[in-house]
Chains A and B, each alone.
Chain A
C-alpha cells in the first residue's frame, strides 16, 4: 500500500508527467551542417509535395528523376511543380533504388525488392526487361556504360552488363571482392566507381579492367550513392549522414552533415548550375522523406 505522504503523491504526479512527456508525439527534427561554405541549403520537396521516401536521383535536361522507394514509383519533377508519376506499383515496381536515363530518353532503374532491370520507354511504358532469373535478384546501383550498355549492381556482390539487345553478362564477379555495389557511376574517361556500403569501400575499375580500392577502412565512411560531375565524385553516406566530394587530388572532403531525421541521406545528383540535390529517407516505412538542394552561393 502506498503511504499517504503528500511528497510521495507529488513524486507520483511528477513521474506520470515525465512519462507522458517522454511518450508524447515528437515532431520531425533535422539539421544540416554545411562545412563547405560555398553552399546554402533548402528543402525543395517533401512527402507533402507528392513524394514519399525518395532514393535514387538523376538530373536530366532540366528535370529531376526520382526513384521514390517509399512510394514504389518513379517520378519526374520540375522545380516548382507537382511531380509526375511515370511508373508505380501497377507496373509491378516495389522498391525502386536508382536510375539512369539514356540519350534517347529511356529511363532504366533497379529495384532491390522486385529485382531485375526495369525500363520506362519514351512512350511511358514501364517493364522489367531483365528478370531475377538472369541473376539480377536484388538490384542496387546502375550506370550507363560508354558503349551504350547498362551496368547493374546486384546485392550479392556482382555487377552485370545488360547490352542494348537485352543480353546479360557478368561484368564483375565475386572475385572482385565487392560485397554490395550499392551505387556505380562512370567518369568521362570511362573509369567506373563503385560504392560498396557493406564493405565500406570506394573502388575504381579502369577501362582496362584493373580494380583499385580508393577508400577502404576509413572510420566513419560508408558510401551510399555516387554522382559524377565536373571532375569530382559526390558521395552520400546514409550510415553517417554525410555528403562528400572526392577527387584523386584533394581526397575526401565533407560538404555537409545531415543530422537527426535527416541522417538517412540517400540519392545525389547535380543539376546544370552545379546545385546538388540529395534525397533523404526520414522514415521509409511511413513514407516520409525530403529532397534537399544545396545551391552554390
Chain B
C-alpha cells in the first residue's frame, strides 16, 4: 500500500513537472498559457458554445427532447458541484503545487507534518507570476491552501461530460478543451496537481451521473414539465440558458460573490 502511494505520487509529480516545464521560458508563451486563468471566454467559452450547439441542434422531437433533457440535467449538476466542492476543499488543507517549492507544514493530528517538496518553475507572466512574487513577501491567499479537489475540474469536466452524453462530437471537443486548455493551463502554472484535477473531474462526473439517475431515469415528470415550459417560452428559455451558461463559464463567480455578500449581511445583522 505504502509503495503504491509513493508510486502514484511519483507519477503525479512527474506529470505536474512535465506540464510546469512549459512555463518560465518566454513571457509571450506564459501570457498565453495564463489567459484561461483570467478570461472566462478562453477558459470555457468554447465549452459553453458546445452546450448551445447541442441545445439548438436539429433532429427528431424525441432526439431534441433527449438532448435538452441531458443539458438540463448537466446544468443542475454543475450548479450543485460548486457548493459541494467548496465545502469539501475548505475541510482539507492541501497546498497548491506552487507552494510546495517551499517547506510547507500542515497541522495533522495535533502535529505539524511536512508536505513533500516539489520543484517548481514560476511563470514569467500572469496571475501566478504575481502570486509567486507575493509569496516572497509572505502573502498567500487562503484559497491556495485548499487545492484538492479542483473545483474547476469538477465543474468543466462535468459540463463537458454532460455535453458528451447529449452529442458525441460536441462533447469530445468540449472535453478536449476542458482538459487541455482549462485544466492543462492550471496545471502548467502550478495551481493544481494531476491528483487535484483527477479527483475534481471524477467528483464532477459522479455528481452528473447522480443527477442523471435522479432526474433522467424513472420519474421524468419534472424534466418533461420544464421542457414543455421551454416549448411555450422559447425566447425566455434561451435568455435563461444564456445567463446560466455565462455563470458556469465564469466559474460561478457571481453566485459565490452573492453568497459572500449574503453571509456578510447575515453576520452584520446578527452582530
The contact of B142 among A34, A220, A259, by CB within 8 Å, is: A259
Residues of B within 8 A of A220 (CB): 137-139
Chain B contact residues, majority secondary structure = mixed
Bound form: Cα–Cα A218–B137 in Å: 10
Chain A residue with minimal CB distance to B94?
A31
Question: Knowing A32-B105, A260-B93, A261-B107 touch, does A7 contact B138 (C-beta < 8 A)?
Answer: no
B95 touching A14 by the CB < 8 A rule? no
Number of residues of chain A lying within 8 A (CB) of chain B: 39
Q: Contacts A5-B221, A7-B215, A26-B91; is A41 near B105 (CB within 8 Å)?
A: yes
Indicate which residue in A30, A35, A241 contacts B102 across the interface (CB closer than 8 Å): A35
Binds A, one of B25-33, B79-87, B158-166, B198-206: B79-87
**Given the complex, which residues of A lie within 8 Å of B215, measured CB to CB?**
7
The interface centre, meaning the residue of A26, A34, A292 with most chain B CB atoms within 10 A of its CB, is A34
B253 at the interface (CB under 8 A from A): no
With A7-B214, A259-B145 in contact, do A31 and B106 touch (Cβ < 8 Å)? yes
Interface string of A204-224 (1 = CB under 8 A from B): 000000000000000010000
Contacts of B218 in A (CB 8 A): 6
Instruction: Please report the C-alpha to C-alpha distance between residue A18 and residue B82 in the assembled complex, in whole angstroms.
Output: 12
Q: How far is the CA of A220 from the CA of B135 in the complex (A)?
A: 11
Candidate in B84, B87, B135, B137 with the most chain A CB atoms within 10 angstroms:
B137
Of A5, A21, A28, the contact of B107 (CB 8 Å cutoff): A28
Is B103 touching A257 in the complex (CB atoms < 8 A)?
Answer: no
Do A257 and B107 touch across chains, with their CB atoms under 8 A apart? no
B105 touches A35 (CB 8 A): no
Q: Write the chain A residue with the least CB distance to B134.
A: A220
Q: Which 10 A-B pairs have the closest CB atoms?
A: A254-B138, A30-B107, A242-B138, A34-B103, A10-B214, A6-B219, A32-B105, A7-B215, A31-B106, A5-B222
Provide 15 A-B residue pairs closer than 8 Å at the C-beta atoms, listed in order of the A residue.
Answer: A5-B222, A7-B215, A7-B219, A14-B80, A18-B87, A31-B93, A33-B135, A35-B138, A40-B114, A41-B103, A41-B112, A42-B111, A48-B110, A240-B139, A259-B140
Q: Name B's A-contacting residues (CB within 8 A).
A: 80, 83-84, 87, 91, 93, 95, 99, 102-107, 110-112, 114, 135-140, 142, 145, 214-215, 218-219, 221-223
